[in-house]
Amino acid sequence: MDDSAFQTLPLYESASVIRQEIRKQKNLLLTAPTGSGKSTLVPWILASEKEELAKVAVLEPRRLAVTSLAGFLGSLLPENSCVGYRIRFESNSSPSTKILFTTYGNFLESILHKAENFDWIVFDEFHERRAEMDLLLAYFLALQKTSPQAPRIAILSAELNREELENILQVPCLKVGKPGFPVQILNQDSPVGTPLAKNVEKALRTLERNRIWETSLVFLPGKGEISTVHRHLDEAFGYGKVKILDLFGGQEKSIEREIFLHTKEPRIVLSTNIAETSLTIPNVTGVIDSGLERTTEFNAEQKRNILKLSRISLQNAVQRTGRAGRTQKGVCIRLWNSREESLFPKGIIPEILKSDLRPLILKIAALAKRAQVPFDAILLPTKPDAKNFEKAFAELVKNQFLTDEKCITILGEKVLQIPLNDLSLAKAYAEAEKISALSIALFSILDADEMQSKERTPLNALELARDLTEKGNRLSREIRLAHKRLLDYAKENDRKKFSADNSDDAIAIFLNAFPESIAIANSNSYKTPTDTFPISPASVNDAKAILVFHLLRTNSQQKSEMRAGLYLPVPEKFLQHENATVRYELLWRSGQERYIGLLIRSHGDVEISREEILPQEANAETLQKLLALTADTWMERHRRENFSHLWMDEANQILLCKMKLAAENFPDFGLPLWNDEDVELVTADFFDGVFLMRDLSPERFRKKMQEYFGENMLSWLAKMFPDFLVLPNGKRAHYHYVENSPVELSARIEDLMTFRGEHFITQGKVKVRYDILAPNFRTAQKTWDLTGFWKNTYPQIRKELRGRYPKHPWPESVL
């Protein structure tokens, strides 16, 4: 076959080497520099090895790459009818198509439903390691082991883990092609706190000053950043003076076409990582790389997706840099300093290690059945986490999608046939007793990835569904096409289930299928059994309850927060379930420093309503139920926070010390020991019946202590453990009671001069230590025996104190 049409591609000079390799080996593993033309030349070489052209399926990670590559290859061939493409909701192929470009996702869905007949399967940009890539590779490798007619496999990429793939394919890696045009890499420091838009503007000014000013490609994390940077650059460069174009998945076709037009005019293309591989944007002279990407990871423990803004891998950075060297030499400005690169991941983490394994496992079972091989014969290139795999597998068995023997069930096959991406939604559709145009529209809305809201307030799915049934243009073409496909499926397969539109019936389907997603109004938020969403009730028409969908946990350096992209209002009549159970709780009001009541109704394990109750307004029966909760509620909080300082003043500390000494010295009296158990009992009694924090007073606690000790014993306690002693001169010496310390009697030295020997209280059971004070009432000496003090210690202390207090009497001898 004539390859002359490909002479302009850098990889053309390696065409003969590639042909020799595919004649020697069953499969092909090839790496070539970015922009060398491998995505079009290699498929043509594979197809043209047969006189009548072999059938080749070229799998790409993105739809835009599929359509652009198919168009480019078709333009090179005199008979371009042999080249076609197929993406979701769009196909441009015919029986004469020999080279079919398609996405990994579309091809996987196709082979799950029907047999595909190809001679070669080309895995392009395999370094991205998406879950569909790994699954399809595992399937075709398993097929090659059992069927002589299985297609051959070609894996292509600019960056590959060669050793791993050489072992999997059992072929050496063919490294061909020369690097593209040279690209100068510059690092630009991005100080912490500087807005991303400012850093991008600074880099663009550098390109402008150096006359590298044709098409500048800027890589940003997502659509939100694209919008922010676009507005900033519009103002910075003067509105309309430099064309600024946005590129992301689902962008309007007219703007996509404009981006791929050849022009020498200065322009700026703000793109997500969609432009990182497979696409050639004309005349790119400069690339600006933010070094950031927004990724979603699945948390198997929480069964939640977590949205993260994180650093790209160095492998991504190489791909992005190469965008500037595809058609001419260029410059790449990286918005980080070179020292930071040690913090970047070296390679791309396979998606299979950070995604929900449930759909993947179900599709493995379906493909195993199609290939007539055991489940375990489909060996993924990277093994998923064993614990997460077991958990996902157990859930599929619980939902009756799989058997314990890892075989797909009839229900499992059905949910894969239903044109819905989400397994839970597909199951809800399959089990719905009746459906309507409105409920079908709701399924389409809830299944759409693009409905993941980046705002704090979710969108009303019921309103969007009504708009969809009325063929309004409020929603994207993608959602409208998905809705049409599901509607056509329903008319063909479930006509007997059709009923008239009724919003209550439609909501009931999702309420029954997703009871754990019901969120109850709770002050300025909504709360499910596991999560709280910062949603103002006013923003959702003050609904008492909503069903939340498209749940996503955002995770940044500032905070972690649950968000819901869509909601369904739940009519109140659904909350008055006849079999509902009722329970009461206490809710803390921090501004008022008090507890109020909550009446919570549940159906099964799911809350269906919650109502706030002010204790002062509650009826007698309800008040008693709330009062019964106070002790345990306060105790639980006290164990966490310990706010005993509110009631353990000095008087209570002294009383507790006296009571402990009484129990210790009079064991036959059966007095409380005041161990941890006693203190907890008194504290719980102290909390009982209290709603206001200000009622947790020392006086109230003292009363509870006295009641527990025995009020009839209080006069005895005061007699045994007096507060003071009247001295011969009429003055009072005070007893000090401190836990884990001796009891002390404090008096000035001159007031104790008539005292001798030791001192006891409590019928001689407790020995008291003297705390001898100087005239300034500060301790001068402590002693157990005043006779010894006067004889041995007093002469020295007398010298010191007489000099400081000469007006006080200081007899030479007291004895």
Residue 578: what pLDDT? 62
Phi and psi at residue 612, in whole multiples of 5°?
-80, 140
Rounded to an integer, what distance in angstroms lies between the CA atom of residue 152 and that of residue 43? Answer: 12
Instruction: Output the CATH code of domain 4-175.
Output: 3.40.50.300
Which residues, at least 6 apart from 134, have a Cβ–Cβ distance to it below 8 Å?
350, 351, 352, 380, 381, 382
Does the pTM surpass 0.75? The reply is no
Q: Please count the helices (runs of H) and the strands (runs of E) in the chain.
A: 26, 31
Distance CA 742, CA 765 (A): 13
pLDDT at 80: 63
Write out pLDDT tens, residues 523-571.
778 888 778 888 888 888 888 889 989 887 776 555 567 788 899 998 8
Question: CATH for 183-353?
Answer: 3.40.50.300
Contact between 518 and 547 under an 8 Å Cβ cutoff? The reply is yes
In percent, how much of the chain has pLDDT > 70? 96
Please report the pLDDT score of residue 606 as a whole number. 67
Q: Is the pLDDT of residue 591 over 70?
A: yes
> Is the pLDDT score of 485 beyond 80?
yes
pLDDT of 85 above 80 = yes
- Say whether 798 sits in a helix, a strand or coil: helix
Residue 9 DSSP SS3:
coil
Q: What are the C-alpha distances in Å from 183 to residues 30, 186, 312, 539?
A: 23, 10, 19, 50
What is the CA angle 100-101-106, rounded to 5? 105
Percent of the chain with pLDDT over 90: 60
617-659 residue pLDDT tens: 999 999 999 999 999 999 999 999 999 999 999 999 999 999 9
pLDDT average, residue stretch 181-208: 91
Q: pLDDT, tens digit, for every residue of 15-39?
A: 999 999 999 999 999 998 877 889 9
Ramachandran angles phi, psi of 31, nearest 5°: -125, 135
Domain ranges, ordered by start, for the chain? 4-175, 183-353, 418-575, 644-720, 724-804
Instruction: For residue 607, give the H/E element and its range.
Output: strand 606-613
For the chain, what is the largest distance between any 2 Cα atoms, rounded to a whole number of angstroms? 131
Q: DSSP readout, 348-376?
A: PPPGGGSS-HHHHHHHHHHHHHHHT--GG
Distance, CA of 52 to CA of 254 (rounded, Å): 37
Confidence of residue 612 (pLDDT cuts 50, 70, 90): confident
CA distance 63 to 90: 10
* Amino acid letter for position 411: L
Rounded to 5 degrees, φ, ψ at 449 are: -60, -35
Average pLDDT score over residue span 233-253: 86
Highest mean pLDDT among 26-40, 226-240, 446-460, 678-692: 678-692
Instruction: Give Cβ neighbours of residue 481 (< 8 Å, ≥ 6 apart).
Output: 88, 89
- What's the rounded mean pLDDT across residues 671-683? 94
Look at residue 299 in the predicted model and tell me its pLDDT: 79
Q: DSSP 3-state assignment of 157?
A: strand
- pLDDT category at 421 given cuts 50, 70, 90 is very high
Average pLDDT of 192-210? 93
Three-state DSSP state, 600:
strand
Q: Strand pairing partners for 611?
A: 599
Same fold flag, 4-175 and 183-353:
yes
What SS3 state is found at 621?
helix
| 427 neighbors 510 (Cβ within 8 angstroms) | no
User: Between the ranges 439-453, 578-592, 783-797, where is the mean pLDDT highest?
Assistant: 783-797
| Closest residue by Cα to residue 162 from 171, 173, 153, 152 | 173
Over residues 383-392, the mean pLDDT reads 93
pLDDT in tens, 705-731: 999 999 999 999 999 999 999 998 999
Average pLDDT, integer, range 587-615: 84
Q: What is the mean pLDDT of the chain?
A: 89
Residue 2 has pLDDT above 70, yes or no: no
The answer on pLDDT for 453 being more than 70 is no
**Among 644, 689, 428, 459, which residue's Cα sits nearest to residue 564?**
459
Sign of CA dihedral 422, 113, 381, 178: negative
List of E strands, 10-61: 28-31, 56-60
Q: Is the pLDDT of residue 262 over 80?
A: yes
Asked whether 671 and 661 are in contact (CB, 8 A), the reply is no
In this predicted structure, what is the pLDDT of residue 556?
A: 58
| Residue of higher predicted confidence among 302 and 71 | 71
Lowest mean pLDDT among 44-53, 419-428, 663-672: 44-53
Count of C-beta atoms within a 10 Å radius of residue 689: 12
Distance between CA atoms of 603 and 193, rounded to whole angstroms? 48
Q: Give residue 392's pLDDT.
A: 94
Q: Residue 373's pLDDT is what?
A: 94
Q: Average of pLDDT values for 332-347?
A: 89
pLDDT value of residue 34 = 78
Residue 587, beta-bridge partner list: 596
| Strand-pair partners of 601 | 582, 609
